[in-house]
Chains A and B, each alone.
Chain A
Amino acid sequence: MSDTPAYGLWWLVIINSLVFIIFAFSFTRPRTRRDWRSFGAFAAFIVALFTEMYGFPLTLYLLSGWLGSRYPQLNLLSHNTEHLWHTLFRMKGDPHFDVFHILSNLSIFGGFFLLASAWQVLYKAQRDHKLAVTGPYAYVRHPQYDGFILIMLGFLLQWPTLLTLLMFPVLVYRYVRLAHQEEREMLAEFGEVYAHYAETTPAFFPHLDRAIAHSK
């Protein structure tokens, strides 16, 4: 990647935002108000992120004084600088191949895969008016929220900005609340069956030992 100034690329802001939002839309198909709220929160995060990544580097402007005094040799307007963990930890080499970036890409792709595989199970279950309990739903009760959170976490690992760092805990809190609300509705609808499912299946964090045993 070149170190030339890399901002003001508004068409890239638009393309990237649309690609990620259309993908998420295609694999979540928001229908209820709750669906739209969780989807909207994700979309807001994506737009904020790409606006800073290619449009206007607000974080760098706000931190420029501090960064300039601490890292005097830094080219503040280069694209690589805003791979901020790389900069802050004074890591060597290309930031696109550091541990943050690799973990980040794994997390983003994992999140999208989770969204898509959960959607497939959920869609069939909804069509059949059943409870979704297979695929990713066998490991966690809320794989789609997990998917959204993984994708956002992935972006924070490669491209942290003040705004997205602030948004992240708020959005996670919101997802947890929406998940609880969804559980109450599922309990009212499926009763005993859901109660048993909820007893044996964790909400967000899979039991890793069980997941590994299952996959064998």
Chain B
Amino acid sequence: MATQQNSNPNGLFRSRSGFVLIAFLVIIAFFLATEHTAHLFGILPWLLLFACPFLHFLHGRHGGHSKDRKEPVNHAENPNHNPQGGKK
């Protein structure tokens, strides 16, 4: 009940999710900065686009330790499912 979970937002930057977040933000910064002149960068915009699904899968597979990601979450039926402590 009283155990603090490791959900400090500062921890985000040290996790794989943090890497994915930063990579996405860099890509977004590129498109926001170049706007319509992105075509001057040749193949780069496409490479950045193709990096996105890659980042997504990287994030999905490891980012959240997703062992039960595919399971539908039904809290009501199983409120005490996880032995690990959370804040509340």
Q: How far is the CA of A27 from the CA of B35 in the complex (A)?
A: 24
**Does A197 make an interface contact (CB < 8 A)?**
yes
* B87 close to A120 (CB less than 8 A): no
A1, A22, A31 — which one has the most chain B CB atoms within 10 A of its CB?
A22
The DSSP consensus for interface residues of chain B is helix
**Interface 1/0s, chain B 40-55, versus A by CB < 8 A?**
0000011011001101
Do A130 and B52 contact each other (CB < 8 Å), given the known contacts A117-B12, A189-B75? no
* B64 close to A123 (CB less than 8 A): yes
**Which residues, 1 to 52 on A, are CB-close (under 8 Å) to B?**
1-2, 6, 9, 12, 15-16, 18-20, 22-23, 25-27, 29, 31
Chain A positions within 8 Å of B35 at CB level: 1, 6, 53, 79, 96
**Does A136 make an interface contact (CB < 8 A)?**
yes
* B7 close to A121 (CB less than 8 A): yes
**Interface 1/0s, chain A 121-135, versus B by CB < 8 A?**
101111111111111
How many whole Å from A133's CB to the nearest CB in chain B? 6
* A116 close to B64 (CB less than 8 A): no
**Which residues, 53 to 77 on B, are CB-close (under 8 Å) to A?**
53, 55-56, 59-60, 64-65, 68, 72-73, 75-76
Across the interface, A23 reaches (CB within 8 A) one of B24, B60, B68, B80, namely B24
How many whole Å from B2's CB to the nearest CB in chain A? 13
* B53 close to A22 (CB less than 8 A): yes
Q: How far is the CA of A188 from the CA of B15 in the complex (A)?
A: 33
The DSSP consensus for interface residues of chain A is helix
How many whole Å from B16's CB to the nearest CB in chain A? 10
Q: How far is the CA of A26 from the CA of B20 in the complex (A)?
A: 9
Q: How far is the CA of A197 from the CA of B87 in the complex (A)?
A: 12
* A26 close to B59 (CB less than 8 A): yes
* A54 close to B36 (CB less than 8 A): yes
**Does A203 make an interface contact (CB < 8 A)?**
no
* B45 close to A15 (CB less than 8 A): yes
Which of A106-114, A166-174, A205-213 participates in binding chain B?
A106-114
Chain B positions within 8 Å of A133 at CB level: 87-88
**Does A105 make an interface contact (CB < 8 A)?**
yes
* A127 close to B82 (CB less than 8 A): yes
How many whole Å from B44's CB to the nearest CB in chain A? 11
How many whole Å from A197's CB to the nearest CB in chain B? 7
How many whole Å from A117's CB to the nearest CB in chain B? 4
Chain A positions within 8 Å of B48 at CB level: 15, 19
Do A129 and B80 contact each other (CB < 8 Å), given the known contacts A6-B36, A120-B7, A134-B5? yes
* A131 close to B88 (CB less than 8 A): yes
Chain A positions within 8 Å of B75 at CB level: 126, 129, 189-190
Do A135 and B36 contact each other (CB < 8 Å), given the known contacts A19-B27, A23-B52, A189-B76? no
The 4 closest A-B pairs by CB, nearest first: A130-B86, A6-B36, A128-B82, A134-B7
